[in-house]
Chains A and B, each alone.
Chain A
């Protein structure tokens, strides 16, 4: 059995957990992270959304904070408003403060501003609003200037189908009176992957790490650029490593046009880059990260005393235990994807949602939990499932009572919002992670 003592234990190593942990560590708090794996952050397209849409009123938030006037009417329980104690002005301030205190590694990865939403062309051909994109995705921002874009897929890689996506894009652009922005489909092939049985982004980026392969790829792109003479070539998100991102400049010089990535479904390079940056934040600040599963709390008199976890072995044998003892705890375990929440189905096919570590009371919206349209602009009820918190980010029960005095929460484990329909995922993670840390600091 291993015993870890720390002032604050953060559960989860996604955006919310690392935001809370880094804010605490920068203020001299001894903080440790435990997580069972990567979560949604690593699977995301790595943009930092603040607020793009207000699904309840089908409104667009441009700039992001302009949406708050709808939010106070349609969803007073939104975590932003909770963090701002119900006051949209206070919410704005805390969001600004949180983004200001983002760790350098995260800031350096992105371009953008909390005061503005950019429209980014995605691998589906749709335009999506976001406040910050990673630098390699900057060319995918549709600025409104006249430009010709070559949306370029990689043969055999399904994550970007340029023919399909560019036809969607042209429709979308026309509907926004941006029909003068041209999006054309193209393909490049990577020779050594032509026969691959299982082509996936990680393979593409590994192959590109080889100098000769990269040069071949560059030649293909140059040929394409010469033929089509575009302003911008957009590829799926494939430049996983810092080395490859560095080499994108080389491609731009050779092609004499802008080269960028579009937000791409998992596993996209941009999600991995964000997770790697978060990992770097932890190692630079000396925040230890432990890996453990089956976390169970031990509680005494309304206080979390310790968390007991399991370190898995190489066969399903009696596992090794690990115990964490902290003064305060931050739950940043994400939603159904990160597995902060799971869904148990019994023999009668009844569905029950459960918060995985503390079995905290959950908010579950009324009505069907999902609609059949995955792109339903009104969002999906299951996305809104999560715990309730007070303005100090302490989990509360349905009557508003604090569940455990020394427990705080951050990120998509919190309910009452739909990151996908609203485009606010990382913004909520960053803001609530920051607020949870502030609450802990104010109690020292």
Chain B
């Protein structure tokens, strides 16, 4: 063991020059900590792990500083225990950016291939991700299965491409269908999806530290998108959205497939503004009357979309929109992001359970989000803990509420 660690340290030291710029920035980044503990008061993982196992942003950053060139297993093991929710970064008076530190570590783990394996090894996961084009170890041809139930069609040329995303396509057919039906109602023949040909946008690979894998995936995705001739891409997944709109260019060095990347809520909001769509009265039979909106981290803190989903939901007559105690940039993470749901589902769900309990206290009949990762986590949390609340994505609500006329 000792020897193995020494080996890693050697290889890190050898790579130090290559990573020098990053090291320096990391050091500066972490140096700002004034030990105020604000980050601990918002970190979902710190709270869920009960103060053992995950040291939380403050301590993790301190460990990182000490072990920057000399990694300890503690740091390795912590590096996948972060949902990259960025809440700590948004509250930290000292400008410490723990999610960046975590992603940096993951990236090092990927590029250095250390002989010491962290508690959870993601390298296999990254390999299958690149091979199959999804993080769920699912054969690509099954990715369009959700279309069968609703007689949907995949492929062909169209003005607008619906990018469904892996989580919706594979794990949440109801979300994929809600999205598809909403878009079809509005656009008809001008809308298409890639279905079984849809690939992975690269985001999960990036979050697990595999920048090279992310680049390969992004290029393949963009090639497939180009086949449809679409120049507008709409997606219900904030992670895919942010990958296409920002990270592909900023981080993986790939040209995005289009300059018109829209989140589903942006697209619907725009049509609402232009008076081109209408919502019918909710009778309470098909849709819950009282819902609570959860700000997805990736959509809120990530790309700054807070109002569009709220405006849409409040515009539907017969739906009352409740709010959590902490909203918008202060919204507490559901626990499912940053690869956590795949690696430590039990932690993800114990975080989500607290949010669901708050929703129930407030009288919500459904927890509504605008992100497949949140929905997946909430859905399994509700099943696991047997909690009496519905879990819906905003696209499912829009699909039911859209009306032909005023």
Q: Which residues of B are found within 8 Å of A36, using beta-carbon distances?
A: 95
Residues of chain B from 90 to 106 with CB closer than 8 A to chain A in the complex:
90-95, 97, 99-100, 103-104
Q: Is the CB of B103 within 8 A of A272?
A: no
A312-B37 contact, Cβ under 8 Å, with A192-B50, A196-B50, A243-B361: no
Complex Cα gap A312–B36 (Å): 22
| Contact present for B51 and A317 (CB under 8 Å) | no
Q: A196 contacts which of B52, B95, B304 (Cβ < 8 Å)?
A: B52
**Residue pair B37, A266 in contact (C-beta under 8 Å):** yes
| Given A272-B41, A283-B327, A311-B304, also A37-B95 (CB < 8 A) | yes
Is the pair B40, A267 in contact by a Cβ cutoff of 8 Å?
yes
Cross-chain contact A316 with B51 (CB below 8 angstroms): no
Identify the stretch in B3-11, B180-188, B246-254 within 8 Å (CB) of chain A at 4 or more residues: B246-254
- Shortest C-beta distance, A275 to chain B (Å), equals 8
Binds B, one of A134-142, A286-294, A299-307: A286-294
Q: Please give, as numbers and ranges, the residues of chain A lying within 8 Å of B83 by CB-CB distance.
A: none
Q: Which of B27-82 contact A (CB under 8 A)?
A: 34, 36-38, 40-43, 46-48, 50-53, 55-56, 59
Least Cβ distance of B336 to chain A in Å?
17
B84 lies within 8 A of A314 (CB) = yes
Return chain A residues, CB-CB under 8 Å to B47: 202-203, 206
Contact A312 B97 (CB under 8 A): yes
Q: Does A388 contact B (CB under 8 A)?
A: no
User: Which of A2, A209, A279, A318 lies in contact with B304, CB distance below 8 A?
Assistant: A2
Is B167 on the interface with A (CB-CB < 8 A)? no
A43-B38 contact given A37-B92, A243-B361, A293-B95, CB 8 Å threshold: yes
A199 and B50 CA atoms in complex are apart in Å by 8
Cβ distance B57 to chain A, nearest Cβ, rounded Å: 11
Alpha-carbon gap, A10 to B288, bound state (A): 39
In the complex, A198 has a CB within 8 A of chain B: yes
Contact A206 B354 (CB under 8 A): yes
Q: How far is the CB of A288 from chain B (nearest CB, A)?
A: 8
Q: Give, as a whole number of angstroms, the nearest-CB distance from A203 to chain B.
A: 5
Q: Is residue A350 within 8 Å, beta carbon to beta carbon, of the partner chain?
A: no
User: A225-247 vs B: 1/0 string, CB under 8 Å?
Assistant: 00000000000000011110000
Please pick, from B51, B89, B99, B247, the residue contacting A200 in the complex, using a CB distance under 8 A: B51
The yes or no answer to B357 lying at the interface (CB within 8 A) is: yes
Would you call B89 and A312 a contact (CB within 8 A)?
yes
Task: Tell me the bound Cα distance from A150 to B47 in angstroms.
Answer: 28
Given contacts A36-B95, A279-B330, contact A198 B34 (CB under 8 A): no
Max count, chain A CB within 10 A of own CB: residue among B51, B90, B250: B51
B22 at interface (Cβ–Cβ under 8 A)?
yes
A39 proximal to B (CB < 8 A): yes
A72 to chain B, nearest CB (A): 34
Q: Is A201 an interface residue (CB 8 A)?
A: yes
The answer to whether A37 and B41 touch across the interface, beta carbons within 8 angstroms, is no
- Residue B131, interface by CB 8 Å: no
| B117 located at the interface, meaning its Cβ lies under 8 Å from any Cβ of chain A in the complex | no
Query: Quick one: closest A residue to B361, CB to CB?
Result: A243
Task: Say whether A289 contacts B328, CB under 8 Å.
Answer: yes
Q: Are A203 and B46 in contact (CB under 8 A)?
A: yes
- Let me know if A38 is at the binding interface, CB within 8 A: yes
Closest to B245 in A: A320
The answer, among A202, A290, A316, for a CB contact under 8 Å with B22, is A316
Other-chain contact of A209, B40, B42, B99, B354 (Cβ < 8 Å): B354
Interface string of B348-369 (1 = CB under 8 A from A): 0000001001100100000000
CA–CA, A384 and B354, complex, Å: 43
CB distance from A108 to the nearest CB of B (A): 15
Chain A, Cβ-Cβ closest to B86 = A314
In the complex, which residues of chain A have a beta carbon less than 8 angstroms from the beta carbon of B327? Answer: 279, 283
A321 touches B (CB below 8 Å): no
CB atoms of A320 and B246 under 8 A apart: yes
Q: Given contacts A242-B325, A312-B89, are A200 and B37 in contact (CB under 8 A)?
A: yes
A267 x B37 contact (CB < 8 A): yes
Judge whether B46 and A202 touch: CB under 8 Å. yes
Any A CB within 8 A of the CB of B329 = yes
Using a CB-CB cutoff of 8 Å, which residues 147-206 of chain A contact chain B?
192-193, 195-203, 206
Q: What residues of chain A lie closer than 8 Å to B330, measured between beta carbons?
A: 276, 279
Given contacts A279-B330, A316-B25, contact A200 B34 (CB under 8 A): no
CA distance A196 to B40 in the complex (A): 14
Q: A283 near B328 (CB under 8 angstroms)?
A: yes
Q: How far is the CA of A192 from the CA of B48 in the complex (A)?
A: 12
User: Can you pick out 15 interface pairs between chain A and chain B where the beta carbons lie within 8 Å of each other?
Assistant: A37-B95, A38-B93, A42-B38, A193-B51, A196-B51, A196-B52, A197-B51, A198-B51, A267-B36, A279-B328, A312-B97, A314-B251, A316-B22, A317-B251, A339-B95
The 8 tightest CB contacts between A and B, nearest first, are: A196-B51, A267-B37, A202-B41, A206-B47, A38-B91, A198-B51, A317-B250, A202-B40
